A and B are shown apart, each in its own frame.
Chain A
C-alpha cells in the first residue's frame, strides 16, 4: 500500500469506521445464543467438506451427500437392528403450502414423520418446460428428507414431472422459523401450514397507512403489500405476516428494528 490513493482509501475507512455496537445489539446476540444449542462436531465437519469434494462446491450437492450418507447409515442400522420404534414427530411433519411466485400456482409439501421423513412435493399447475407436453400440469416429486436442528434437506433421487417427462430436482433446504411457525426455503420462498378450512392463504391486503407516530412510521407486522416512493419511482414489497416489520410512509424503507428517528 505505498501509493497515495491506497493511503487515502485506508485513511478514509479508518476515519469512517464505526466500531460501536448498536444499543442492545450485544444483549440480543447473547440472548439468542442462550436459546441455541451447539451442533455435534461431526455434523459441523460433515457440513463443511472443505475442499475434499472438489467437483461439488455447491451447498445443494453437499447437503445431498450428507443426506445420502446418513440415510444409508440409518437404513443399515434398521436392517441390522431388525426394524425400530415408530418415528418421532418433528416440527416439519405435516402439510405445508406456498405460492409459486412465477405463476401463482399452489404448491404443497407433505413431510412425513421422523428425522428422515418421506417428502412429497406437488405444484398444482406447473408452467415450466418440464410439463410443456403434458395435458395435466400437476408437477409431483417424491423424495427423502434429513433433519438437522431446525433444517430439513430434501433430495429427490427420481426427480419429478407431470407424467411424460422426468426432470432432476436440486436438493431443497428449508429452515423452520419458530417465531412464525413457517418454513423458509433457501430460495426465499416461505411455506405455511394450511388453514383448517382448506382455503388458500388469504391474499395479502394492501396496507392502509396507519402512522404509529408523527414520523409516519407504519406498523407492518400484519403483512400485506407495502409501497412507497424512491425518488421518482414507487417500490412495492409483499410482506408475509411477521413479528416486527415497520416502514416509513413517505419514503420506501423497511426495518425490523423500528423506523429511524
Chain B
C-alpha cells in the first residue's frame, strides 16, 4: 500500500487506480451509512477520490493515506448532506398503535428495525461518528480526526447519537396502550 501511495503521489495514475479499487467498496459502504442515500453516497465517494488524486502530492506521510481518505470522504459526505442538492428521498413510516408486541426470535429483527429507524432520524454528523466508531472500529480520537473536530466534540456527538438510538429502541418497546394515550 505504501508503495502505491508513493507512486500515486508522484503522478502514477495506475497506482492510484489500484488504491481506488482496493478502498472503494469500504468507503462506499461508509458513505451509504452516513448519507443513507445511494446516489449521494456515490457522489461523495467520487468527490473524495477526485480530491484525493488532486491533493495527493501534498500528503507528506504515505502511511497516513487511509486515515486521510476517511477524512476526505467524511468531508465530502457532510458537503453533500449540507447542500442537499443531489437527491431528495423521503420515507415515512407509521407504526400502528395496535402492533402486537414481539418476542423470542423476532426480537432481534425488531431491534434491527428500531436501530435502522433510529439511525435514519439522527443528524448526519452524529451518524458519521457512530459509523466510524462502531463500523470501522476506530478509536474515538481517530474518528474525531476523520471528522476534523476536537475529541470532546466527537465524544459528545457519539453520546447524543447513542442516547437517541437507545431512546428509539425504548420508545418502540412501550406498551401499545400507552402509545395510544400519548398520541391522543
Contact = CB atoms under 8 A, between A and B. Distances in A.
A33 B50 contact: yes
A22 B135 CA distance: 20
Contact of B90 (A21, A25, A36, A252): A252
Contacts of B11: 38
Nearest to B134: A10
Interface residues of A, number: 48
Nearest to B111: A8
B45 A8 contact: no
Contact of B20 (A30, A37, A39, A43): A30
Given A17-B135, A45-B58, A29 B49 contact: yes
B125 interface: no
Interface in B62-105: 83, 85-90, 92
Contact of B50 (A13, A26, A36): A36
A21 B56 CA distance: 23
Contacts of B26: 19
B183 interface: no
Contact of B165 (A9, A18, A149): A9
A140 to B, nearest CB: 28
B112 A13 contact: no
A53 interface: no
Interface in A1-58: 1, 5-6, 8-10, 12-22, 25-26, 28-30, 32-34, 36-41, 43-45, 47-48
A26 B134 contact: no
A98 B78 CA distance: 26
Interface stretch (A116-124, A201-209, A217-225, A229-237): A229-237
Contacts of A66: none
Contacts of B55: 38-39, 44, 47
A169 interface: no
B123 interface: no
B90 A231 contact: yes
A230 B92 CA distance: 9
A65 interface: no
B51 to A, nearest CB: 10
A13 B57 contact: no
A13 B33 contact: yes
Interface stretch (A75-83, A126-134, A156-164, A253-261): A253-261
Contact of A28 (B21, B46, B87, B88): B46
A33 B134 contact: no
20 contacts: A9-B165, A10-B135, A12-B111, A13-B131, A13-B135, A15-B112, A19-B29, A25-B45, A29-B20, A30-B17, A30-B20, A32-B50, A38-B53, A43-B58, A48-B58, A149-B54, A235-B88, A252-B90, A255-B86, A256-B39
A-B complex: 3 closest residue pairs judged by Cβ atoms? A44-B58, A19-B25, A13-B135
Interface of B: 11, 13, 16-17, 20-21, 24-26, 28-29, 32-33, 38-39, 42-43, 45-46, 49-50, 53-58, 83, 85-90, 92, 111-112, 115-116, 130-131, 134-135, 137, 162, 165-166, 169
Interface of A: 1, 5-6, 8-10, 12-22, 25-26, 28-30, 32-34, 36-41, 43-45, 47-48, 149, 188, 230-231, 235, 237, 252-257
Given A10-B137, A29-B46, A36-B53, 14 more contacts: A9-B134, A9-B165, A12-B115, A13-B131, A16-B33, A17-B29, A29-B50, A38-B55, A38-B56, A39-B55, A39-B58, A230-B90, A253-B88, A255-B39
